[in-house]
């Protein structure tokens, strides 16, 4: 049987693309002796979307922040294109769950903020930001402020800001968790469309099995904390048939049930 049809336990399945990110024996212990990560290892193929999923509190966001260089690991290492991660870098951009927008700044200023930090001239950064504001579906809202936008629109601004800096790797922490199901599905479709154009490597934290199967080339399943990698699978869902056809397909539904069966075991421990 192949990986596309079975839940074989393999922390590093063979892929066509070389790893853009390597996570090796990552541990994290917080003050008070709370151990979140118990030795996590997996590879992220370049140009693909890898989801991280697991029980609540298993360290998904912690793992993502260590990859981003926002917090330090207790032990282990993260490599990006073979170089060790020692802090934040221009090769990675973070999309936060809570938008992290500047409330006093317009949509355009928020989208251009990463470029502003890099010292790009105002006219040039606004031109780039305007392009990505349009790409995420917010053309005409460049002069609006965050309080004038819906939650879904604010999340689109956060995505535009991450895309504008042209980082090779996007790190997305449950980016669609705060929107309703209809908007969430539209965002998933838009994300896949954008990534087909932008050719980024994406690490995507989600608590939704359906979302992970729908958007991912690869899914990393974590155990309950202190977490380890339980499985790495490649659903291989064919996206050529459109959203409705995909969500009704036996292949998609089978993978949702397979991953749920594995996660349910940890919930029942």
Asked if the model's pLDDT at residue 99 lies above 80, the reply is no
Asked if the model's pLDDT at residue 103 lies above 70, the reply is yes
Ramachandran quadrant class, 35 (left: phi over 0; alpha: psi -120 to 50; beta: rest): beta
Every domain of the chain and the residues it spans: 19-91+169-267, 103-166
pTM for this predicted structure: 0.86
Instruction: Please report which confidence band the pLDDT of residue 15 belongs to, taking 50, 70 and 90 as the band edges.
Output: very low
What average pLDDT does the structure give for the chain? Answer: 87
The pLDDT score that the predictor gives to residue 8 is: 39
Instruction: Please report which confidence band the pLDDT of residue 48 belongs to, taking 50, 70 and 90 as the band edges.
Output: very high
**Alpha helices, H only, the chain:** 60-68, 107-111, 113-117, 122-135, 151-164, 181-198, 209-215, 243-248, 250-267
Map residue 21 onto helix, strand or coil: strand
Q: What is the pLDDT of residues 53-87, one digit of tens each?
A: 999 889 999 999 999 999 999 999 999 999 999 99
CATH topology of domain 19-91+169-267: Rossmann fold (3.40.50)
Q: What is the pLDDT of residues 191-239, one digit of tens each?
A: 888 888 888 999 999 999 999 999 999 999 999 878 999 999 999 887 7
């Amino acid at each position: 049987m192949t990986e596309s049809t079975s839940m074989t336990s393999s922390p590093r399945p063979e892929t066509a693309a070389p790893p853009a990110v390597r996570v090796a024996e990552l541990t994290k212990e917080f003050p008070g002796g709370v151990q979140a990560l118990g030795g996590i290892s997996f590879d992220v193929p370049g140009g693909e979307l890898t989801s991280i999923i697991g029980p609540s509190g298993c360290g998904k966001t912690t793992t993502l922040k260590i990859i981003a260089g926002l917090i330090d690991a207790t032990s282990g290492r993260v490599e990006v294109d073979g170089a060790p991660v020692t802090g934040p870098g221009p090769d990675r951009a973070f999309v936060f769950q809570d938008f992290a927008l500047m409330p006093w700044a317009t949509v355009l200023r928020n989208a251009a903020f990463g470029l502003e930090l890099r010292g790009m001239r105002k006219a040039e950064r606004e031109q780039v930001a305007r392009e990505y504001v349009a790409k995420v579906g917010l053309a005409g809202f460049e002069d609006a402020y965050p309080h004038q936008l819906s939650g879904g629109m604010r999340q689109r601004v956060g995505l535009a800001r991450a895309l504008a800096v042209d980082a090779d790797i996007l790190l997305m922490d449950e980016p669609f968790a705060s929107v309703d199901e209809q908007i969430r599905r539209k965002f998933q479709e838009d994300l896949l469309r954008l990534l087909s154009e932008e050719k980024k490597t994406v690490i995507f934290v989600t608590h939704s099995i359906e979302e992970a199967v729908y958007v991912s080339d690869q899914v990393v399943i974590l155990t309950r904390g202190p977490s380890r990698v339980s499985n790495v699978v490649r659903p291989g869902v064919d996206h050529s048939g459109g959203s409705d056809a995909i969500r009704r397909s036996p292949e998609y539904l089978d993978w949702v049930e397979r991953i749920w069966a594995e996660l349910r075991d940890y919930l029942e421990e």
